[in-house]
Structure 1
Amino acid sequence: MAKLLQPIQAGQLTLSNRLVMPPMATAKAEADGQVSQAILDYYAEKSAGGHLSLIIIEHSFIKPEGKASHNQLSVADDQMIEGLTKLAQVIQKNGSKAMMQLAHAGSQTAREITGFTPAAPSAVLNLRKGEELPHELTHEEIFELVKAFKHAARRAKIAGFDGVEIHSAHGYLLNQFLSPLSNKRTDEYGGTLLNRIRLHLQVIEAIRSEVGPDYPVFIRIGASDFMVGGTTLEDSQIAAREFEKAGVNGIDISGGFCGFTLPGITSQGYFSELSEGIKQVVSVPVILTGGIIEIEVAEQLLNEGKADLIGVGRALLRNSKWAEEGIIKLQREG
């Protein structure tokens, strides 16, 4: 049997194969972040047939101040639970597991979107969307952030999602704490790598205290900024080990301030060097995404030990039957 078609365990989460739909923003939510019929229809189409073992819902904001864009999905209020329950059920009814991604944009947003001055670890312009100088988060605000992540995870669990993923990639808030390009703090949240991931560990601990020891918790990390002075693979290997010790069940690899693409690089699986490096130092499953458009390449990356799970994004955006067609192809080829 092709490795791509083999089941895998991530904590208490059993996945039927190695294909994952990673989080991709749709801008289909209602203006206040509520689940819309358009979102339900979108995920019903993407999950049809259950050929994807796991669908990680697009990044959803945990606080109004952390909203990244208009019509972004919200998990910031208990009023969202009813709609989120419908969303989880749409996916699960089709045979895929559903995971909620919890996010805060930090400085990668604007007052026009949130109504608030953007906040960040330090008063440094965001390298991806530096429209407004953010204010440096106080200790009290950091404490409130941890609580917001915790309560967002509670809502996802109540809504029936199979797990949550903490977003620390693509230059969003937790990634801003991780990266020395954006974290210039001189207190216990800045300086050394262990200080820069202190908030991550507090978030993981708070979520675990809320959802219990068995509920699946993943983290998506921007494993390298690919910029001078930024986060490196070696940094992320240390961080990944700490995240595993703190209780995460899976690590999803993407870029940091470089975003989810690498300019000038068009090879499939372009973050594979990062995912392979992380896989070498942790025992939990590692997800690789990055320009994968051919099922044979996905299988090859697994066989080469680059990752345990393969995320396919834009190919699924273009063709909702990509996974079904690819699996049939693998089965025919034996």
Structure 2
Amino acid sequence: MLYSPIQFRNVELRNRWVMSPMCMYSCENGLANDFHFVHYGSRAQGGTGLIIVEATGVEPRGRITNHCMGIWNDEQTEKLKKIVDFVHQNSESKIGIQLAHAGRKGSTWNNIQIPVEEGWETVAPSPIPYHPTERIPHVLTAAEIKEQVQHFKKAAKRALEAGFDVIEIHGAHGYLIHQFLSPLSNIRTDEYGGSFENRIRFLLEIVDAVNEELNESTALFVRISGTEYAENGWNIENSVELAKILKDHGVDLIDVSSGGNIHGAKISVFDGYQVPFASEVKNKAEVKTGAVGLITKIKQAEEILQKGDADLIFVAREILRNPYIAVQGSFEMNEESFFPHQYLRAKISS
């Protein structure tokens, strides 16, 4: 199954390998540069079915650090288009982008919040910092929440101008959307807080706004944290219910990660530790899912698909170590995968 195609709208992936979005902290003013060109281009040469560009801020305050990527102006869009064009012209890979807003977890460096003079005032649904020692974030008004929805919509429009095949909305890991979803970080009493229906409203408004920009040539994924490992917090049952609703709002795949919203949460980490969350969402919500989290072996990835636990395999650290994991896996399994014609003399199966 790893080397079988799969389709989302009119976007066909040649195999089930996905480069998971991973921050590189290597931008100035949110601009992609030569490092990013080589970084993403090399994974395309390695046969990866889908490459997803790192968390990209929909506005300056949406970044995690001063060196994170952005897509709020024309110059940033043009730099990203150069990468997209190379991937399309020199491989069979599709390429996506993760649209993100860090919320209260922004204005940091090395996981430490930097002074507002060097960074910016963070925003959140409620006046609760991620860590007790951090600044109280600015609480978004209802009107400001609507502005944030428009930031995502405009970013999606720019992503289409750059030529991306997939847009992923980042609703996981304790960033702004996740902050709204969780009753532990969202204690609002207006239409964006309180009940489950109110707490998911911000995400649904973003999904609907982004979908207004999309057509059948661009697929829409959403990344969520299946659980945040905290009592009375966001859990897998909430994730299943949300996934059902997202499917009805035109989301093509749920990328299921976990954690990130509660400082000091206890997480048991082992190979494939997040796969059960993807499986539960897939099978209970009847929606396509992506599995992520210490998936490092070809056999392991194939078994996840064969068992029906997920539809795509998102690989993070392992694809940093080995940009050619997809094509090497095809040698191992005697399957076909894209291999650059310039490298054909090295295409061997043993």
Q: Same fold (TM over 0.5)?
A: yes
Match of 2:92 in 1: 95
If the length of structure 2 is used for normalisation, what is the TM-score?
0.88
The answer to whether residue 61 in structure 2 is matched with residue 71 in structure 1 is: no
Larger radius of gyration: 2
SS in 2 for 1:4: coil
Kindly state the Cα deviation for residue 47 of structure 1 after the two structures are TM-superposed. 1.7
Report if aligned partners of 1:221, 1:256 keep a CA contact under 8 Å in 2: no
Report if aligned partners of 1:97, 1:162 keep a CA contact under 8 Å in 2: yes
Match of 1:83 in 2: 79
Match of 2:189 in 1: 186
Match of 1:47 in 2: 44
Q: How many Å separate the matches in 2 of 1:188 and 1:256?
A: 25
The answer to whether residue 32 in structure 2 is matched with residue 15 in structure 1 is: no
Query: CA 1:212/1:6 → structure 2, altered by over 3 Å: closer, same or farther?
Result: closer
Q: How many Å separate the matches in 1 of 2:317 and 2:297?
A: 11
Query: CA 1:45/1:282 → structure 2, altered by over 3 Å: closer, same or farther?
Result: same
Match of 2:208 in 1: 205
Match of 2:220 in 1: 217
Kindly state the Cα deviation for residue 250 of structure 1 after the two structures are TM-superposed. 1.2
Kindly state the Cα deviation for residue 258 of structure 1 after the two structures are TM-superposed. 6.0
- Which 5+ residue runs of structure 2 have no aligned equivalent? 108-113, 336-348
Q: How does 1:291-310 map to 2 (within 5 A)?
A: 291-310=294-313
SS in 1 for 2:2: helix
Q: How many Å separate the matches in 1 of 2:35 and 2:156?
A: 24
Kindly state the Cα deviation for residue 79 of structure 1 after the two structures are TM-superposed. 2.4
Kindly state the Cα deviation for residue 154 of structure 1 after the two structures are TM-superposed. 0.3
The answer to whether residue 180 in structure 2 is matched with residue 177 in structure 1 is: yes
Report if aligned partners of 2:256, 2:278 keep a CA contact under 8 Å in 1: yes
Q: How many Å separate the matches in 2 of 1:25 and 1:82?
A: 19
Match of 2:34 in 1: 37
Query: CA 1:190/1:97 → structure 2, altered by over 3 Å: closer, same or farther?
Result: same
Match of 2:130 in 1: 126
Aligned CA RMSD, in angstroms, stands at: 2.0
Q: How many Å separate the matches in 2 of 1:179 and 1:130?
A: 21
Deviations 1:154-197 (A, max 9, x none): 00001001021000111100010111110111111111111111
Query: CA 1:236/1:264 → structure 2, altered by over 3 Å: closer, same or farther?
Result: closer
Report if aligned partners of 1:17, 1:52 keep a CA contact under 8 Å in 2: yes
The answer to whether residue 160 in structure 2 is matched with residue 157 in structure 1 is: yes
Report if aligned partners of 1:108, 1:130 keep a CA contact under 8 Å in 2: no
The answer to whether residue 324 in structure 2 is matched with residue 327 in structure 1 is: no
Kindly state the Cα deviation for residue 326 of structure 1 after the two structures are TM-superposed. 1.7
The more displaced of 75-84 and 145-154 is 75-84
The aligned length equals: 326
Q: How many Å separate the matches in 1 of 2:226 and 2:157?
A: 27
Q: Percent sequence identity over matched residues?
A: 37
SS in 1 for 2:103: coil
Match of 1:237 in 2: 240
Report if aligned partners of 1:10, 1:285 keep a CA contact under 8 Å in 2: no
Report if aligned partners of 1:279, 1:306 keep a CA contact under 8 Å in 2: yes
Q: Pick one of 100, 105, 117 that aligns with 2:102.
A: 105
Report if aligned partners of 2:6, 2:12 keep a CA contact under 8 Å in 1: yes
Report if aligned partners of 1:15, 1:97 keep a CA contact under 8 Å in 2: yes
Q: How many Å separate the matches in 1 of 2:176 and 2:267?
A: 26
If the length of structure 1 is used for normalisation, what is the TM-score?
0.92
Deviations 1:277-323 (A, max 9, x none): 11013444210000011110001111111101111111111122222
Report if aligned partners of 2:84, 2:164 keep a CA contact under 8 Å in 1: yes
- Which 5+ residue runs of structure 1 have no aligned equivalent? none
Report if aligned partners of 2:298, 2:329 keep a CA contact under 8 Å in 1: yes
Report if aligned partners of 1:175, 1:256 keep a CA contact under 8 Å in 2: no
Match of 1:278 in 2: 281
Match of 1:195 in 2: 198
SS in 1 for 2:256: strand
Q: Pick one of 43, 56, 61 that aligns with 2:57.
A: 61
Residue identity in the other structure for 1:64: P
The answer to whether residue 165 in structure 2 is matched with residue 167 in structure 1 is: no
The more displaced of 150-159 and 61-70 is 61-70
